[in-house]
Structure 1
Amino acid sequence: MPRIESKVRDLVAGDDGMRAAVEIVLDRADDGDVKWLDVKDELSSGRWGRLIETGVLIEGEEGFQLADRAATESGLETDDSSDTSTDSNVALETEVDDDESSWSIYDKGAGVLTIGLFVGYSWKPLRDLIGTVMDVPLGPLEELLPFYAVVMILALATGLYSTLLQANLMNMEKMSAYQSRMKEIQERRKEAKEEGDDDALDAIQDEQMDAMGDQLGMFKEQFRPMVWIMFLTIPVFLWMYWSIGVGANAEAQVSLSTLVLPLVGEVAWTDSVLGPIQAWIVWYFLCSMGFTQIIRKSLNIDISPSAS
C-alpha cells in the first residue's frame, strides 16, 4: 500500500485532530479489528469516516482493520518533516514572489549595458570603439606573447571569474529547494498513477501548475550571474574580433601566424572549422572549457544544485 503513508500524512496535515484519531485507531487495532462502538467516545464520526473513505481503514472480519499498519505509523512519524516541507514550500513560494528583489539595481544596470554591448557584434563603429579601449590593457600583453597564448590567458581569466560569479551570485539552497519540490511532486504523481488515484492526480496536476512559478525562479537565479559574465566577456570577445579582423570591412590589428587545432591541423584564425564557426572561436572555447574544469576542481566549487 504505497499510498497509505501519503494519505495519512495528508490527513494529519489537513486536520489537527486527525493525528489523535489515527493514534487511537492504531492503539485499538493491537487487539484485532476496530469497531466504531469502541472509539466513538474518543473521535468524531467525521474523522472515523475519513479514515474509511481514504482507505486507511478497510473492512475486516468483525469491523475494520488497518490497510497497512507500518505505512500508517510511518505516515505519523514523517508528519513533522511533512510540515517542515510544507513550510519550506510556503517560504519558497514567498521567495519566488519576492525574487525580483534579489536583482539589485546594479544587476539590472549590468543587464541593460550587456544588451547594448551585443550591438557591437554587428555594428563596426561600436566594435572598433570597444576594441580600441580594451587594447589599452590587452595590447601590451599581445606584444609580449604570441596571440594564441593571449587567447589562452583570456580564456583562463574568463573561466575564473565565470566560476566565481556563478558560485557567489546563485542561491544554491534555493535552487536545490526548487528541484526537491519538483522531484517530490513527480514521485507523488508516479505513485498516484500506479494506484489509479484520479483524485490525487487532479490535485497533483493543480500543484504542478502552481509550481510553474518555481521554474521562473530557477531561471532568474541562473540568469543573474550570466548577466555579469556576459557584461565582462563581451568586451573581451569584441577585442578579439577587432584584433583578428572579423566582420565586413574589418582589418586585423595584430600580426597573426597560423593556428594548429587538435584533429584539424594548421588553419588560419578566420578559417571555418566547425560549420560556420571560425578557428579562433574553437580555440578559445577549447581553452575555456579546459581551464574552467581545472578551476572548479582546484577550488572545489560545485555549481550544480542537488535535490535532496
Structure 2
Amino acid sequence: MARIESKVRDLVGTDADMRTAVEVVLERADGGEVEWADVRDELTSGQWGRLIEKGILVDGEEGFRLADPEGARAGLEDDDSSTSSSSTSTPSIDTGDSSWSKYDKGAAVVTVGLFLGYSVSEVRNIIGGAMDLALGPLAEMLPFYAVVMVLALATGLYSTLLQANLMDMEKMGKYQERMKDIQRRQKDAKERGDDAALEKIQEEQMEAMGDQMGMFKEQFRPMVWIMFLTIPVFLWMYWAIGVGGNAEPHIITENIVLPLVGSVDWTAGVLGPMQAWIVWYFLCSMGFTQIIRKALNIDMTPSSA
C-alpha cells in the first residue's frame, strides 16, 4: 500500500514519462485487469516491464492487475505537490561561498614560499631564527620532548578551530549526499536497463563535477591556513636540532625514549626515513587533536542535517 505509493513516486521522480504510463494503466485497468495489448499504443515495452518489475503490476487471472490502485493514485498525487520544487534528481548546490578571499589566496602564495625552507637552508635559517625569538625561551625552560608536546598541542588546537570555522560541514554533507543519490539512481537505471534514464543521470553527473570542485575548495581552504601557521613551527624544529645536510643544531637535546624503539637521537630514522622528532610530534599531535575535539565537542563529520 504505502509501499506502492512510494514506488510510484520514485518511478515518476526518476523518469517523468512514467507518470503518463501509470495514468494509462490506471485508466485501462479500471479496477480490473490489463494486458500489454491494451496499452501498447501508449506505453513502451520498457515502461511496461518496469511496472511489472517494481511490483506495481502483478499477475492476475488472465493478464495483470494493479497491486494497489489507490496507492498508485496517491503516488501520482504526491508527485504533483512536489514536482515543482524537486524532481528526485538532487538539486544543484550553491558553491559561491566556496570562493577564496584575497586573504586565502595570499596565505596560499606565502605557504608555497615557506615550502622552500625544507630544501633551501638560507630560508630555513631565516625562518628558524625568527621563530626562535618566541620559541627559544620555551626550549630553555623545558626538555625538547616537552617542547614538541607543547607545539603539538598548539598546532592541534588552532588546526581544529580553523577546520571548524572555515569548513561548512552542512554544505560538504550536501555534496556527498548528492553524489550518493546520483550513484544510487545510476545503479537502479543500469539494473532495469533504462538507457534513456541512464543518459540523463550521466549528464547530471557531469554537471555535478562543479560540486566536486566546491567540495575540494571547502576541504583545502583551512589546510592552507594550517600549513601557513605550521610550516614555520616545523622549520624551527629543523633549525633547532640540525636536520638536513651539514646543518648544525642550535639547542642542546638529550636522546628520547620511544616505545618499541628505546633511546634514540632526535634525528635518527625510526620509521623508514621518518626521524624520531617527527614521529614524536605526530604521536602527540594525533592524541591532543582527539582530546581537543572531544573537549570542545567539535564534530568534523560532514552532515546534511
Letter in 2 for 1:173: E
- 2:47 is aligned to 54
- In structure 1, the residue matched to 2:267 is 270
- Shift of residue 244, structure 1, vs aligned partner: 0.6
Are the structure 2 counterparts of residues 82 and 138 from structure 1 closer, same or farther at C-alpha, using a change threshold of 3 Å? Answer: farther
- The gaps in structure 2 that reach 5 residues or longer are none
Structure 1 residues 27 and 198: CA distance shift in structure 2, 3 A: closer
The letter for the 1-side match of 2:32 is: G
1:26-105 → structure 2 map (5 Å cutoff): 31-33=31-33, 49=42, 54-55=47-48, 66=66, 69=69, 70=71, 73-74=74-75, 76-77=77-78, 84-85=85-86, 89-92=90-93, 95-96=94-95, 98=96, 102-105=99-102
TM, length-normalised to structure 1: 0.80
Which AA in structure 1 matches 2:78?
E
Q: Which residue of 2 is the match for residue 202 of structure 1?
A: 199
Change in CA separation of 1:127 and 1:307 when aligned onto 2, cut-off 3 Å: same
Give the distance between the partners of 2:119 and 2:92, measured in 1 at CA. 44
CA distance in 1, matches of 2:28, 2:197: 29
Quote how far apart the aligned CAs of 1:139 are. 0.9
Match of 2:185, SS state, is helix
- Tell me how far 1:4 sits from its aligned partner: 4.5
The alpha-carbon deviation at position 143 of structure 1 amounts to 0.8
Please give the per-residue CA displacement for 1:84-110, whole angstroms capped at 9, x wherever unaligned.
555995451xx23x356x311111110
Deviation at 1:66, TM superposition (A): 4.1
The Cα of 1:224 is off from its aligned counterpart by 0.2
Cα displacement string for residues 237-275 of structure 1 (whole angstroms, at most 9, x for unaligned residues): 000000010012211111110011112111100000111
Change (3 A) 1:80 1:272: farther
Give, as a single letter, the amino acid of the residue that structure 2 aligns with 1:244: I
50-59 vs 226-235, which deviates more?
Answer: 50-59
Pairs within 5 Å for 1:6-45 = 6-10=10-14, 31-33=31-33
Distance 2:236 2:72 in 1: 64
Q: How many residue pairs are counted as aligned between the two chains?
A: 289
Secondary structure at the aligned position of 1:142 is classed as helix
Q: Which residue of 2 aligns with 1:221?
A: 218
TM-score, normalised via structure 2 length: 0.81
Encode CA deviations 1:122-176: one digit per residue, 9 max, x unaligned. 1111101111111111111111110100000000000011011111101111101
CA distance in 2, matches of 1:157, 1:8: 54
Distance 2:279 2:216 in 1: 28
- Counterpart CA distance in 2 for 1:111 and 1:50 is 58
Q: Aligned partner of 1:245: which letter?
A: G
Q: What does the per-residue CA deviation read over 1:42-62, in whole Å, with 9 as the maximum and x for residues that have no partner?
A: xxx9xx936987345879889
Structure-1 separation of matches of 2:178 and 2:80: 17
Whether 1:189 aligns to 2:186 is yes
Aligned-pair CA distance for 1:3 = 6.5
Q: Mark the CA change 1:226 to 1:192 in structure 2 (over 3 Å): closer, same or farther.
A: same
Equivalent residue number for residue 42 of structure 1: none
Hey, what does 1:150 align to over in structure 2? 147
Contact 2:170 2:304 in 1 (8 A): no
Q: How far apart are 1:199 and its partner, in Å?
A: 2.3
Q: Which one-letter code corresponds to 1:6 in the other structure?
A: D
Q: List per-residue Cα deviations over 1:186-239 (Å, max 9, x = no partner).
A: 111221222222222222222222212222111111000000000000000000
Name whichever of 106-115 and 79-88 sits farther off.
Answer: 79-88
Superposition pairs for residues 131-146 of structure 1, below 5 Å? 131-146=128-143
Match of 2:112 in 1: 115
- Which deviations, in whole Å up to 9, do the C-alpha atoms of 1:265-286 show, x marking residues without a partner? 1110000011111110000000
2:240 alignment partner in structure 1: 243
Asked whether the equivalents of residues 158 and 288 of structure 1 are also in contact (C-alpha less than 8 Å), the reply is yes
CA distance in 2, matches of 1:301, 1:79: 41
Q: Which amino acid aligns with 1:162?
A: S
| Structure 1: tracts of 5 or more residues without a match | 36-44
Among 163, 167, 186, the residue aligned to 1:170: 167
CA RMSD, Structure 1 to Structure 2 (Å): 3.5
